[in-house]
């Protein structure tokens, strides 16, 4: 199993949902970057269970410890290791899942692959694994702030409720103004009511997280195999429950003609080039073009629901299963910091790769 990603900015996450804890080793962070424990904790608090009535009620403080790589608030250039201890596990909620596979969860596939699985809590397939990603994402954001890059994620759609969000102007303050993390206040209210109703039914719903990276200079990303949208797509699709990825106008481009779809260039009075539209989502030929990088990630409805469904036992006998325990009725609000983290991790890697390629030369 690959638990590592990135070339120059490389992260390795570890830990099971019901094990001792979860964490990450971040390798390749340049020295003397300001690393704030408070900032890392703030990002983890946005991911934390129990933060509102519409997420899982598992009670985890998710308090992070930095074990290495940081001195007096500055990175040392050595591996940064971070740990979060697991605090609130109720293994009995998973008793039935020892012998039965949850529909659309990872239980069956893990058993087929490994012949063994951490049945209690879902092991590595649990969203708890993303603690390490979000902590690493905070380090990536600290590197990116040196380049003037700002990343904002937001809930754009839940089930059939579509919000109106302008990626050019959306702010973290707007996103954090409500527990849904939807910057459109009216739609946020509708979504909140809808998730509450679905939770009471014992059902679940999915939706779309949007994310914008503003201030990325032209030139990041590698042509061919490591095209920026390919790396972003892989990183975001590696998140649990993420089943779709789009950049710019994405699948919508198929409805347009070239005349409509092309992003026409223009130069401002200082000769700075930009495009009149941004259907490319800030990436052309796999390389950033200086426009905001805009992506969308589709998350499916949470697999574990409190309703009876058909399944099979580990002995392959037909049966039924009804979920128990504390699950997210909708993963979207907590997925926002996870998507931001994955975008930041990819961009930090490509920022370092571009700096390494230029190696002191200027274009
Ligand atoms: C923020 C977040 C929270 C999640 N919470 C749950 C949960 O409470 N219960 C559950 O069954 N799945 C949850 N998931 C999704 C599962 O981890 C995921 O669906 C499962 O591992 C199967 O992987 P796949 O959906 O990527 O195929 C969550 C995902 C995210 C992003």
pLDDT in tens, 38-61: 999 999 999 998 888 888 887 889
The arithmetic mean of pLDDT across residues 157-176, rounded, is 98
258 falls within a domain: yes
Q: How confident is the model at residue 93 (pLDDT cuts 50, 70, 90)?
A: confident
Length of the chain: 363
**Distance in Å, CA 105 to ligand 1 centroid:** 7
Q: How confident is the model at residue 319, as a pLDDT?
A: 97
Q: What is the pLDDT of residues 201-213, one digit of tens each?
A: 999 999 999 999 9
Q: How confident is the model at residue 325, as a pLDDT?
A: 81
171 falls within a domain: yes
Question: Distance (Å, rounded) from C-alpha 122 to C-alpha 107?
Answer: 7
The arithmetic mean of pLDDT across residues 8-32, rounded, is 96
53 falls within a domain: no
279 falls within a domain: yes
Number of the ligand 1 atom closest to the C-alpha atom of 300: 25
Q: How confident is the model at residue 92, as a pLDDT?
A: 74
Q: How confident is the model at residue 223, as a pLDDT?
A: 92
Assess whether pLDDT exceeds 90 at residue 120.
no
**Distance in Å, CA 342 to ligand 1 centroid:** 16
The rounded percent of the chain whose pLDDT value lies above 70 is 99
137 falls within a domain: yes
Strand partners, 287: 284
Q: How confident is the model at residue 362, as a pLDDT?
A: 61
9 falls within a domain: no
Range of the domain at 98: 92-358
**Distance in Å, CA 254 to ligand 1 centroid:** 30
Q: How confident is the model at residue 18, as a pLDDT?
A: 87
Number of the ligand 1 atom closest to the C-alpha atom of 240: 26
Encoding tokens for residue 211?
């994310």
- List the one residue out of 323, 289, 288, 283 whose CA is nearest residue 306: 323
Q: What is the CATH number of the domain that holds 145?
A: 3.60.150.10
5 falls within a domain: no
How crowded is residue 133: how many other Cβ atoms within 10 Å of its Cβ?
A: 26
**Distance in Å, CA 122 to ligand 1 centroid:** 9
Question: Distance (Å, rounded) from C-alpha 111 to C-alpha 208?
Answer: 30
Give me the number of domains the chain comprises: 1
Ligand 1 site, CB within 6 A: 56, 105-106, 125-127, 239-241, 300, 302-304, 327-328, 331, 334-335, 338
328 falls within a domain: yes
**Distance in Å, CA 54 to ligand 1 centroid:** 15
Q: How confident is the model at residue 96 (pLDDT cuts 50, 70, 90)?
A: confident
Assess whether pLDDT exceeds 90 at residue 321.
yes
Strands (E), the chain: 4-5, 10-14, 21-27, 64-68, 70-71, 74-75, 80-85, 150-158, 161-162, 207-214, 242-247, 265-267, 273-275, 283-284, 287-288, 293-299, 308-312, 318-322
Best substitution site from 43, 107, 126 to test ligand 1's pocket, by max atoms within 8 Å of Cβ? 126
Question: Distance (Å, rounded) from C-alpha 103 to C-alpha 88?
Answer: 25
């Amino acid at each position: 199993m690959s638990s590592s990603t990135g070339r120059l900015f490389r992260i390795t996450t570890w830990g099971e949902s019901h094990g001792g804890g979860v964490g990450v080793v971040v390798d390749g962070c340049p020295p003397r970057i300001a690393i704030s424990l408070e900032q890392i904790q703030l990002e983890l608090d946005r991911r934390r269970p129990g933060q509102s009535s519409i997420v899982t009620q598992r009670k985890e403080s998710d308090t992070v410890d930095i074990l290495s790589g940081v001195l007096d608030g500055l990175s040392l250039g050595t591996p940064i290791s971070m740990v979060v201890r697991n605090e609130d596990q109720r293994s009995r909620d998973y008793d039935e899942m020892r012998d039965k596979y949850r529909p659309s969860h990872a239980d069956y596939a893990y058993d087929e692959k490994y012949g063994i699985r951490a049945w209690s809590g879902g092991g590595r397939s649990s969203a708890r694994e993303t603690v390490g990603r979000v902590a690493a994402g905070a380090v990536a954001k600290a590197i990116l702030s040196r380049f003037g890059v700002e990343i904002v994620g937001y809930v754009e759609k839940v089930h059939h409720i579509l919000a109106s969000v302008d990626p050019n102007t959306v702010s973290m303050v707007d996103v954090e103004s409500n527990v849904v993390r939807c910057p459109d206040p009216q739609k946020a209210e509708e979504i909140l009511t809808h998730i509450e109703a679905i939770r009471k039914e014992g059902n679940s719903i999915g939706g779309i997280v949007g994310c914008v990276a503003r201030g990325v200079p032209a030139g990041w990303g590698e042509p061919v195999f490591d095209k920026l949208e390919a790396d972003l797509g892989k990183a975001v699709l590696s998140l649990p429950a993420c089943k779709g990825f789009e950049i710019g106008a994405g699948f919508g481009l198929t409805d347009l003609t070239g005349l409509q779809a092309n992003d026409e260039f223009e130069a401002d009075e200082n000769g700075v080039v930009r495009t009149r539209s941004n259907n490319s989502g800030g990436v052309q030929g796999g390389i950033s073009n200086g426009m905001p990088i805009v992506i969308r990630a589709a998350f499916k409805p949470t697999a574990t629901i409190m309703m009876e469904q058909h399944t099979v036992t580990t002995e392959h006998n037909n049966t039924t299963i009804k979920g128990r325990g504390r699950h997210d009725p909708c993963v979207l609000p907590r997925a926002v910091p996870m998507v931001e983290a994955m975008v930041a991790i990819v961009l930090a890697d490509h920022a370092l790769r571009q700096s390494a390629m230029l190696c002191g030369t200027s274009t």
